[in-house]
């Protein structure tokens, strides 16, 4: 039996024959019964893997769920637009580094869903991308799926906190704090 030590990709775990503890019943319950959740766990408690699993689920990758509980619970394997934002990708010791990372993702999503890059404010761009993704994929009226994670700077005394309010109408960066 192969154990997925340090692997946070659901797709890699499922396609490479690693052991996987099936928690897909809980994911189906989250999606079917709830609206918005704040998933708070200590470091190294499986948040990234859970969100990677949810990403595959919302991308409609049914083949990855073969033999798992959700394979039988889900009747409609629909693909939804995913705006996946991992804030562990860089060192955010400056506000500019975080803005650069947000811009990188926004530019990709704008090209994919809007067809062109925008020079508007970040919060306006988030809102436009969410709306365009819903319109382009025919998934209007649904709840957007978002992932926001606190980004730790290399100096552990500094922590940037970002709050992004996702809705189909608007998205904005609420505040910046350095502790």
Same domain, 41 and 127: no
- 115 falls within a domain: yes
| CA nearest to 147, candidates 90, 84, 59 | 84
Does residue 159 sit in helix, strand or coil?
Answer: strand
Domain extent, residue 16, equals 10-73
Same domain, 99 and 121: yes
Last residue of a domain, one of 54, 73, 92: 73
The angle at the Cα of 173, spanning 142 to 168, to the nearest 5 degrees, equals 15
- 119 falls within a domain: yes
Same domain, 68 and 86: no
Domains in the chain, number: 2
Q: E-assigned strands of 32-179?
A: 151-152, 159-160
Same domain, 37 and 62: yes
Same domain, 130 and 158: yes
Q: How many residues in total does the chain contain?
A: 179
- 2 falls within a domain: no
Same domain, 133 and 45: no
Per-residue pLDDT of the chain (179 residues; tens, 9 = 90+): 899 988 989 999 999 999 999 999 988 988 888 766 666 666 666 778 888 898 899 889 999 999 999 999 998 888 888 888 777 666 777 788 888 888 999 999 999 989 888 888 888 898 888 888 888 777 655 444 444 443 433 433 333 333 443 333 333 344 433 33
């Amino acid at each position: 039996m192969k154990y997925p030590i340090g692997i946070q990709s659901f797709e890699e775990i499922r396609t490479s024959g690693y052991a996987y503890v099936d928690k897909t019943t809980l994911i189906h319950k989250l999606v079917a019964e709830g609206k918005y959740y704040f998933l708070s766990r200590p470091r190294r408690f499986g948040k990234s893997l859970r969100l990677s699993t949810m990403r595959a689920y919302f991308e409609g990758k049914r083949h990855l769920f073969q033999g798992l509980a959700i394979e039988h619970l889900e009747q409609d394997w629909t693909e939804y637009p995913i705006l996946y934002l991992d804030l562990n990708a860089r060192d955010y010791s400056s506000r500019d580094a975080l803005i650069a990372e947000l811009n990188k993702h926004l530019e990709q999503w704008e090209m994919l869903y809007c067809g062109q890059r925008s020079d508007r404010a970040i919060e306006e761009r988030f809102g436009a991308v969410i709306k365009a993704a819903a319109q382009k994929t025919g998934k209007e009226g649904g709840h957007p799926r978002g992932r926001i994670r606190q980004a730790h700077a290399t100096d552990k005394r500094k922590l940037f906190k970002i709050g992004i309010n996702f809705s189909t109408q608007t998205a904005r960066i609420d505040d910046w704090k350095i502790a």
